[in-house]
Amino acid sequence: MDPQHHNLQEISSEINTRYFEGKLSLKVQWHGSKASMPRTQIKLGSYSQKTEVIRINRLLDREVVPKYFVEFIVYHEMLHHVLPPIISKNKRRKVHHPAFLKHEKNFHDYGLAKKFLEEVKEGWLTKPRLSRSLARLLKKWGL
Ligand SMILES: [Zn+2]
């Protein structure tokens, strides 16, 4: 197995304690391999209500990904357990409904995490010249 940059079990336990009074007993695990780079969309995390398993994309298990970002994805998936999808008036299933989004903002590094998410969406995570774009990023944020 590859060496891990982020200790997922430790992060999950911290988030569980900090935001959920340690009450959650969900399984949290890495998913996918670093070698297989998806070309288009990447799913960073997922939660299955049926199995109560949270899966975090292994692409995030690297030095250049800040810990708060992994924490944020874990927090987001845990929120899916606590705040399940609702059916709106027009009979649509809403996963990220207003109550969910409101709670999501409680995350301690919400602003930073959202910024980082935007960068991830722009695709740097799946690009080979990772270090260069990251250097640019950190400069931009003054970190
Ligand atoms: Zn979600």
Question: In sequence order, what DSSP letters do the residues of 72-141 get, joined into one string?
Answer: HHHHHHHHHHHS--EE-TTS-EESS-HHHHHHHTTSTTHHHHHHHHHHHHTTGGGSS-HHHHHHHHHHHH
Distance 56 CA to ligand 1 centre (A): 12
pLDDT digits (tens, 9 = 90+) for 76-110: 999 999 999 999 888 999 999 999 999 999 999 99
Q: What per-residue confidence (pLDDT) applies to 35?
A: 59
pLDDT digits (tens, 9 = 90+) for 118-142: 888 777 666 655 556 666 666 666 5
Distance 37 CA to ligand 1 centre (A): 21
Distance 41 CA to ligand 1 centre (A): 14
At residue 59 the predicted structure's pLDDT band, cuts being 50, 70 and 90, is confident
Q: Average pLDDT in the 3-16 region?
A: 93
Query: Rounded to two decimals, what is the model's pTM?
Result: 0.80
In CATH, what number does 8-33+41-109 get?
3.30.2010.10
Distance 97 CA to ligand 1 centre (A): 10
Distance 36 CA to ligand 1 centre (A): 22
Distance 76 CA to ligand 1 centre (A): 6
Q: Average pLDDT in the 62-89 region?
A: 94
